[in-house]
């Protein structure tokens, strides 16, 4: 039972996710949970939301299976699952009845603290735990900000999860496979044509899951934590620099907007498929850079990660100038 083939688990859980996404779409249509077109949105047709619950439930099924197969890890998996339920739960609530941003942020911070506690317990390194707390809180919100066009949040998370799975030993890599499976089952309903959106329940949960995988990899491998963020850097750079520019200009940065580079590209005439494809390509290149960094010393890995981030920042700045009129 423990000799699980990762690709078999991936396909089985992807099927579960696909069925759950179909059910979520029926539920959203029945409850009229729709995202309508508007000035601050990148779609033109009213579309059901909340399909990301399928990714969450698939992840929870995977975690439950892991607890049964590896009883010694059950308590840690339960704490991990509790954080996921917190983030997904507040997102599900917000999808049904919008909540104040501060209330959502407090829940995100609580879930991130659970992750940080797991890392602290495993390593005894308080600095590593604090860093994960900050990264997790950021990624939960950044993934939500980047979930604005068809396939981008799920597709980028799929690449990120598989890239982290590739550098982790078994059975830890199976957790990343579970996340990838959830995304794989959801994507046919969201890309290239969106029949349902992920919603806050899914985008926030994916940010939490990606942070958790990076945190796990930092514990079970000797890879520098900065290098583990390489496959996630395109989202971090676009969301981080865009939000920073909004703060510096005195704008209300928590409000919905269309100023991210990916949103401006769509407004400039690029299709959702083209823009999502570019980000997935950046994720694949980042995965290759991470794989190459494994052979380097930790400080060299950190330097490579910073160089990759600087390259993406330059690309962001160039695209920001080219798309400044959109």
Question: Binding-site residues for Mg(2+), please?
Answer: 144, 200
CA–CA separation, 215 vs 168, rounded Å?
Answer: 11
DSSP annotation string for 110-145: HHHHHHHHHHHHHH--HHHHHHHHHHHHHHHHHHHH
- CB neighbours of 207 closer than 8 A, spacing ≥ 6? 87, 136, 139, 140, 141, 142, 143, 144
CA–CA separation, 101 vs 78, rounded Å?
Answer: 27
- Binding-site residues sit at 144, 200
| Cβ–Cβ < 8 Å for 193, 150 | yes
- CB neighbours of 78 closer than 8 A, spacing ≥ 6? 67
Using the Cα atoms of residue 126, residue 106, residue 138 and residue 159 in order, give the sign of their dihedral.
Answer: positive
And the tokens for 56?
């969450």
CA–CA separation, 14 vs 9, rounded Å?
Answer: 8
């Amino acid at each position: 039972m423990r000799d699980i083939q990762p690709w078999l688990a991936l396909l089985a859980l992807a099927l579960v996710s696909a069925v759950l996404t179909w059910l979520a779409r029926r539920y959203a249509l029945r409850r009229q949970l729709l995202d309508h077109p508007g000035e601050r949105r990148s779609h033109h047709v009213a579309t059901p939301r909340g399909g990301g619950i399928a990714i969450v439930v698939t992840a929870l099924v995977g975690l439950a299976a892991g607890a049964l197969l590896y009883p010694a890890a059950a308590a840690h998996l339960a704490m991990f699952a509790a954080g996921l339920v917190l983030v997904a739960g507040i997102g599900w609530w917000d999808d049904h009845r919008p909540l104040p941003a501060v209330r959502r942020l407090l829940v995100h911070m609580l879930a991130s603290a659970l992750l940080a506690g797991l890392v602290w317990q495993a390593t005894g390194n308080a600095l590593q735990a604090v860093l994960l707390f900050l990264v997790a809180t950021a990624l939960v919100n950044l993934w939500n900000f980047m979930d604005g066009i068809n396939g981008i949040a799920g597709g980028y998370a799929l690449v990120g999860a598989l890239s982290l799975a590739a550098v982790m030993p078994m059975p830890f890599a199976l957790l990343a496979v579970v996340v990838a499976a959830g995304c794989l089952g959801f994507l046919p309903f969201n890309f290239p044509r969106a029949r349902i959106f992920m919603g806050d329940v899914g985008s926030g949960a994916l940010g939490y899951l990606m942070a958790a995988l990076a945190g796990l990899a930092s514990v079970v491998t000797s890879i520098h934590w900065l290098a583990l963020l390489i496959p996630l850097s395109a989202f971090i750079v676009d969301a981080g620099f865009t939000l920073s520019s909004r703060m510096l200009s005195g704008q209300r940065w928590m409000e919905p907007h269309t100023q991210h580079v990916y949103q401006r590209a769509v407004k400039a005439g690029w299709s959702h498929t083209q823009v999502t494809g570019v980000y997935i390509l950046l994720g694949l290149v980042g995965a290759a850079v991470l794989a190459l960094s494994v052979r380097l010393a930790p400080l060299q890995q950190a330097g490579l990660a910073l160089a990759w981030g600087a390259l993406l920042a330059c690309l962001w700045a160039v695209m920001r100038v080219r798309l400044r009129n959109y």
